[in-house]
Chains A and B, each alone.
Chain A
């Protein structure tokens, strides 16, 4: 075992080799995804597929881990910032910095062993979930919002979407009405308030779930996770919606798998 991982040997004798063999997809390298990238690099994950079309801007600097003031001035692509962060910790990591929406390189997404969703918006989450379900890829999603409420409230969540388990619709992370409302607002994105510390808490929770998913260090039964974050009371707790989620009827058939238009290269 390499000396840099000696303190995490309790994760399992094969954990170093296992992490080194995994490819993690991170969709969105902003406030949440940058934390994810950092922690996965420190754990020793060996392969990364990073998806984000955006470049660094000054308003992002308050929360993008690994970004510098110069990056914001220069408008460096967020995937390049994350790539630099990852390889600075783990020089042997193989990184695919994909400066486009994942829908434009879904072949790279399908090559991932796990995907972290760090996106804004319900529609994009729904699309990412479907893509991951089709390729039988565990999806770990994080998100947070700052709401105007006497005067402000911070709320967020970490939710897993595991093949065979309840999906985002089952746990009511969003409903069809939310998707329809979002579609009606298309183009009026605005600038939502965002801060660093809730992203850090939710990213760390996501990483904790990821490690339980892939290593045998803990026998807690967290097969499906919906952890809510109350940023005002500074607390994490299991969301009751998971306990009441029905057996998933949204992704159940063979037609929900693979590529229905797949053809062999002859």
Chain B
């Protein structure tokens, strides 16, 4: 199955601006993208609609990790997931150019909490995205499948189109 993640370029700029802001103690910021999905002849379309900012005081000061979010962040994301029947994608930034990668910690922690969204909305996919300043990678947890699938293609949709293929 090919998985294509689409995001309006205005929304992408909003996300990047937020994730680049410094935090009092966290090395990285995080947020959640809410969106919808549909099928295409090639597989699955994931369409981002809005972004949940994580307020400064929802982070936990933990020296072992670049950023740790508290229960308020996941609770807020769960609520949007439930209310809007939204596909939820955790997003954070590796602030460099080029294709980012999931760190071991990213993969481990994503595998721990992303499937929890199926407790709220088991019928739609959820996942995680790592942005760089110009590229993206992502994983998608598909309903009823244990292991996540790699997102094959990212498109920033706007004028001009942003780096079609990979963000």
Q: Is A72 an interface residue (CB 8 A)?
A: no
Complex: how many Å from CA A212 to CA B37? 28
B160 touches A111 (CB 8 A): no
- Identify which of A29-37, A132-140, A175-183 touches chain B: A132-140
Residues of A within 8 Å of B155, CB to CB, are 113, 136
A21 touches B157 (CB 8 A): no
Q: Which one, B36, B41, B125, B157, contacts A163 given CB within 8 A? A: B157
Residues of A within 8 Å of B8, CB to CB, are 136, 163-164
The contact size tier of chain A is: 35 or more
Q: Which one, A214, A254, A259, contacts B50 given CB within 8 A? A: A254
Residues of A within 8 Å of B52, CB to CB, are none
- Identify which of A58-66, A199-207, A216-224, A228-236 touches chain B: A216-224
Complex: how many Å from CA A70 to CA B161? 41
Residues of B within 8 Å of A214, CB to CB, are 160-161, 164
Q: Which residue of A lies closest to B43 (CB)?
A: A111
Residues of A within 8 Å of B23, CB to CB, are none
Complex: how many Å from CA A220 to CA B144? 47
**8 pairs, A vs B, C-beta closer than 8 Å:** A22-B164, A113-B161, A136-B157, A165-B159, A212-B159, A223-B159, A255-B84, A264-B124
Residues of A within 8 Å of B112, CB to CB, are none
Residues of A within 8 Å of B45, CB to CB, are 110, 135-136, 258
B164 touches A138 (CB 8 A): no
Q: Which residues of A contact B (CB under 8 A)?
A: 18, 21-22, 96, 105, 107-108, 110-111, 113, 134-138, 162-165, 212-216, 222-224, 254-255, 257-259, 262-264, 266
Knowing A162-B159, A214-B160, A214-B161 are in contact, say whether A258-B41 is a contact too (CB < 8 A): no
B124 to chain A, nearest CB (A): 7
Complex: how many Å from CA A49 to CA B69? 44
Chain A to chain B: the 6 pairs with minimum beta-carbon distance, closest first: A258-B36, A259-B38, A110-B40, A264-B143, A223-B159, A257-B36
B125 to chain A, nearest CB (A): 7
Q: Is B3 an interface residue (CB 8 A)?
A: no
Bits for B98-128, please: 1 = Cβ < 8 Å to A, else 0: 0000000000000000000000000111000
Q: Which residues of B contact A (CB under 8 A)?
A: 6, 8, 10, 34-42, 45, 47, 49-50, 84, 86, 123-125, 142-144, 155, 157-161, 164-165
Complex: how many Å from CA A136 to CA B158? 9
A138 to chain B, nearest CB (A): 7
Complex: how many Å from CA A262 to CA B46? 12
Complex: how many Å from CA A243 to CA B108? 50
Q: Which one, B34, B50, B84, B143, contacts A266 given CB within 8 A? A: B143
Q: Which one, B38, B39, B142, B160, contacts A213 given CB within 8 A? A: B160
B58 to chain A, nearest CB (A): 22
Complex: how many Å from CA A165 to CA B38? 21
Q: Which residue of B lies closest to A138 (CB)?
A: B157
B81 to chain A, nearest CB (A): 11
Q: Which residue of B lies closest to A137 (CB)?
A: B157
Complex: how many Å from CA A46 to CA B160? 20
Q: Which residue of A lies closest to B145 (CB)?
A: A264
